């Protein structure tokens, strides 16, 4: 009986709410005009999982009462939720914030040798909960913003005078909303730590991912999702010295902070970077020791793929830091280390948020110098011979554009080429090729994106080692090592500063037929749009040529006669489609070709697809999400998501394709 009572006692305590003092200690010197989280969201932090709508409400309200914060609405997610950024610093810094930003960016300018960093604030990006079902980070951010805006301690004032904090409280608003709803909907009033409870076992596709089921913590380099676009825009506008990335791991784990496994770091990351990470880690050790939390580092996690939030800064002159908290995955859960409560996970994330800021303030000069030296090392101002990368494609302008668009999003400099050229047997066209000079501040990032290395000191990786972009995009690329310097210099055309998405054309109006080739990335989107307007489309099963020009298998032909639209309406539609999807329509007044004629049975009818995508338990959500995103968002093709549990009740013969 005594044993039973002993077990029940801590559970009774764990049912009790925790107040601000549990997280922040003595708050008697806090500005009483700054609203507490509880006063806005309606519950204590950790009592429930804060939803994104409540988080948004608090962010907006608390920002009204302080001159220490500038609140930025960066844009909206696919589910129309705002991605907030709070820029927090002293009142005096807020009055000259744009000047501070521009001065800070000069650290990345190797030509500027006279930067005075003695009074320059350090910039820290605090990113929370990029995985929606790892909620302790976002909930900790509520407490951090409250403390930074309300505390009147001299320590806080000194911190804010020397630091610009970019606080991103919810890096995955849609995923976080999904998880908070799940955890709160399944919460017991009498908290139950049994890991078999429904609260701790989400249904497919879980809430880790964004709306389209993408892992946003693999998208920093590809930068394909809107949430990533907004983060990278913030990052490149500020170039933070430190970026923190708060995560959760298995319930039976304790707390991890970087550095990771020493021998498993990307070869492009310097030893000095790791030394600085270790020095910052001493602040986490001290802070976690003080509250008695277990922790570890230099195990489990690597520092390799630059598409993650904790590694991307390492290729940009900053220090990226990963934090991993053992997850309660709800409100309270049993673990091998004892009962793990949600408030405890929040407190650990808050404590290391504070320790990071303390390290940033104390190491300010060292970290500013590190960034300056990093970018100075990227560029050799005395170089006699420049190394460059040329990339392009004979056909498919849109794919080349999308690769160039990624480069531009990372502020990588690149140029048009002045003429057609052949390198290593590959032809690069002036109008569809670009040249990237390697001798620029983003050299390391370029090397990461074009790296083809397959052998490393350690063959173990957390998941991804690298992502070779030209291979992923199936474009040609070459280094210009074999070209003379005079040849390279004459090949470089103007720098691209405002990339424009290519658009197609319709050469002339026709009363007979139009044809277009199938090589453009958006061809399928164009076909679907045309079919959806009721037009009849055919495709060639053999090659043919007209007036010496050869057309490939799969070339599409749109006859003008006997269509639901008249010739003027067809011409208007094709002009619209050409601009939307960058396809070029050629008008023809005769069906005779050197090969199969337009009336030949070797031109076959194209049927409009009706697509079903099987989703649910047993299907990898990342794969399903990729297809959903491609067809729905890129190609504007409707897709029916068929839950695998309902397949026995669905008439599948209504779908032309099932994926």
Place of tokens 């911190």: 159
Q: Are residues 441 and 367 in the same domain?
A: no
Q: Are residues 466 and 329 in the same domain?
A: no
Domains in the chain, number: 4
Contact 260, 325 (CB under 8 A): no
* Each residue's pLDDT tens digit, 98-140: 999 999 999 999 999 889 999 999 999 999 999 999 999 999 9
Look up residue 289 and give its two tokens: 């020791």
Q: Which domain holds residue 636?
A: 611-658
Q: Average pLDDT, stretch 311-327?
A: 97
* Burial of residue 256, with CB atoms counted within 10 A of its CB: 0-12 exposed, 13-18 middle, 19 or more buried: buried
Q: CA-CA distances (angstroms) from residue 436 to 270, 313, 396, 430, 595?
A: 23, 21, 19, 14, 42
- Helices then strands, counting H and E runs in the chain, come out as 20, 27
Please check whether residues 47 and 71 belong to one and the same domain: yes
Task: Please compute the mean of the pLDDT values over residues 512-529 and round it to a whole number.
Answer: 97
DSSP state of 106: G
pLDDT of residue 198: 97
Residue 10 has pLDDT above 70, yes or no: no
| Count of CA atoms in the C-beta half-sphere (13 A) of 422 | 1
Report yes or no: 234 and 125 within 8 Å, Cβ to Cβ: yes
6 pLDDT exceeds 60? no
| Residues 97 and 126 both lie in one domain | yes
Phi and psi at 593, nearest 5°, equal: -135, 170
Phi, psi of 426, deg, nearest 5: -105, 135
* Number of residues in the chain: 659
What is the C-alpha separation between 531 and 294, in angstroms, rounded?
A: 61
Q: What is the pLDDT of residues 152-197, one digit of tens each?
A: 999 999 999 999 999 999 999 999 999 999 999 999 999 999 999 9
Judge contact between 130 and 323, C-beta under 8 A: no
Residues 584 and 637 in one domain: no
Residue 28 exposed, middle or buried by CB count within 10 Å (0-12, 13-18, 19+): exposed
Phi/psi of residue 303, nearest 5 degrees: -140, 65
Q: What six digits make up the tokens of 267? A: 């070869």
Residues 45, 73 within the same domain: yes
pLDDT of amino acid 465: 61
637 & 588 share domain: no
Average pLDDT of the segment spanning 578-591: 97
- pLDDT for 2 equals 38
Q: Looking at the predicted structure, is the pLDDT value of residue 381 above 70?
A: no
Q: Tell me: pLDDT of 535 over 50.
A: yes
What is the rounded distance in angstroms from the CA atom of residue 646 to the CA atom of residue 614?
A: 10
Identify whether residues 473 and 562 lie together within a single domain.
no
- Examine the domain organization and report whether 220 and 343 are in the same domain: yes
* % of residues, the chain, pLDDT over 90: 88
pTM for the model: 0.94
Would you say residue 454 has pLDDT above 90?
no
Spatial contact of 345 and 326, defined as CB atoms under 8 Å apart = yes
User: What is the mean pLDDT of the segment spanning 268-282?
Assistant: 97
Q: In this structure, are 129 and 247 located in the same domain?
A: yes
Q: pLDDT tens for residues 58-91?
A: 999 999 999 999 999 999 999 999 999 999 999 9
Average pLDDT score over the chain: 94
Percent of the chain with pLDDT over 70: 95
Q: At which residue do the structure tokens 């350090």 appear?
A: 122
The pLDDT value recorded for residue 313 is 98
Among 548, 574, 597, the domain-final residue is 597
Nearest to 20 by CA among 1, 2, 47: 47
Lowest-pLDDT choice from 126-140, 310-324, 468-482, 576-590: 468-482
**Ramachandran area for residue 584 (φ above 0: left; ψ -120 to 50: alpha; else beta):** beta
Residues 114/115/118/124 CA torsion (nearest 10 deg): -160
């Amino acid at each position: 009986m005594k044993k039973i009572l002993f077990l029940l006692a801590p559970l009774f305590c764990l049912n009790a709410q925790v107040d601000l003092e549990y997280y922040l200690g003595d708050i008697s010197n806090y500005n009483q005009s700054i609203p507490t989280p509880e006063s806005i969201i309606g519950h204590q932090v950790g009592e429930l999982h804060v939803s994104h709508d409540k988080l948004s409400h608090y962010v907006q309200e608390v920002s009204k009462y302080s001159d220490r914060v500038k609140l930025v609405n960066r844009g909206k997610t696919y589910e129309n939720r705002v991605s907030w950024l709070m820029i927090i610093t002293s009142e005096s810094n807020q009055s000259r914030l744009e000047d501070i930003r521009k001065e800070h960016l000069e650290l990345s300018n190797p030509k500027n040798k006279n930067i005075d960093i003695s009074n320059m604030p350090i910039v820290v990006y605090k990113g929370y909960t990029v995985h929606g079902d790892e909620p302790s980070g976002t909930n900790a951010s509520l407490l951090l913003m409250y403390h930074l805006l309300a505390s009147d301690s001299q320590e806080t004032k000194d911190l804010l005078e020397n630091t610009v904090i970019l606080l991103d409280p919810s890096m995955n608003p849609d995923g976080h909303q999904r998880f908070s709803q799940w955890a709160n909907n399944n919460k017991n009033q009498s908290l139950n730590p049994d890991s078999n409870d429904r609260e701790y076992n989400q249904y497919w596709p879980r809430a880790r991912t964004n709306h389209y089921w993408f892992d946003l913590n693999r998208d920093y380099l590809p930068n394909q999702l809107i949430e990533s676009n907004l983060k990278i825009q913030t990052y490149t506008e500020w170039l933070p010295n430190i970026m923190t990335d708060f995560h959760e791991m298995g319930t039976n784990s304790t707390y991890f902070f970087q550095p990771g496994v020493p021998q498993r770091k990307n070869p492009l990351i310097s030893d000095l970077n790791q030394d600085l990470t270790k020095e910052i880690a001493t602040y986490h050790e001290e802070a976690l020791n003080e509250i008695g939390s277990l922790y570890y580092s230099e195990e489990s996690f690597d520092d390799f793929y630059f598409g993650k939030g904790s590694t991307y800064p390492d290729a940009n002159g900053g220090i990226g830091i990963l934090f991993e908290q053992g997850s309660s995955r709800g409100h309270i859960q049993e673990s091998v280390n004892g009962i793990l409560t949600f408030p405890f996970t929040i407190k650990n994330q808050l404590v290391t948020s504070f320790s990071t800021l303390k390290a940033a303030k104390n190491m300010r000069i060292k970290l500013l110098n590190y960034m300056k030296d990093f970018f100075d090392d990227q560029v050799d101002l005395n170089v006699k011979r420049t190394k460059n990368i040329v990339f392009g494609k004979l056909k498919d302008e849109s794919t080349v554009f999308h690769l160039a668009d990624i480069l531009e999003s990372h502020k990588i400099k690149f140029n048009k080429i002045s003429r057609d050229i052949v390198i290593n047997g590959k032809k690069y066209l002036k109008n569809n090729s670009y040249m990237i000079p390697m001798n620029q501040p983003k050299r390391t990032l370029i090397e990461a994106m074009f790296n083809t290395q397959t052998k490393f000191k350690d063959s173990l990786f957390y998941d991804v080692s690298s992502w070779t972009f030209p291979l992923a995009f199936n474009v040609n690329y070459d280094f210009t090592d074999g070209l003379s310097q005079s040849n390279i210099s004459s090949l470089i055309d103007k720098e691209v500063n405002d990339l424009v998405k290519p658009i197609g054309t319709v050469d002339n109006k026709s009363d007979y037929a139009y044809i277009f080739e199938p090589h453009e990335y958006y061809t399928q989107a164009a076909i679907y749009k045309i079919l959806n307007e009721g037009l009849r489309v055919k495709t060639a099963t053999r090659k043919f040529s007209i007036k010496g020009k050869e057309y490939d298998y799969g070339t599409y032909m749109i006859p003008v006669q006997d269509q639901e639209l008249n010739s003027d309406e067809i011409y208007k539609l094709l002009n619209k489609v050409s601009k939307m999807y960058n396809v070029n329509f050629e008008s023809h007044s005769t069906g005779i070709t050197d090969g199969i004629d337009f009336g030949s049975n070797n031109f076959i009818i194209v049927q409009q697809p009706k697509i079903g995508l099987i989703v649910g338990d047993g299907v990898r959500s990342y794969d399903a999400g990729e297809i959903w995103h491609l067809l729905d968002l890129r190609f504007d093709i409707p897709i029916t998501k068929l839950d695998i549990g309902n397949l026995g009740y669905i008439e599948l013969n209504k779908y032309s394709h099932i994926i």
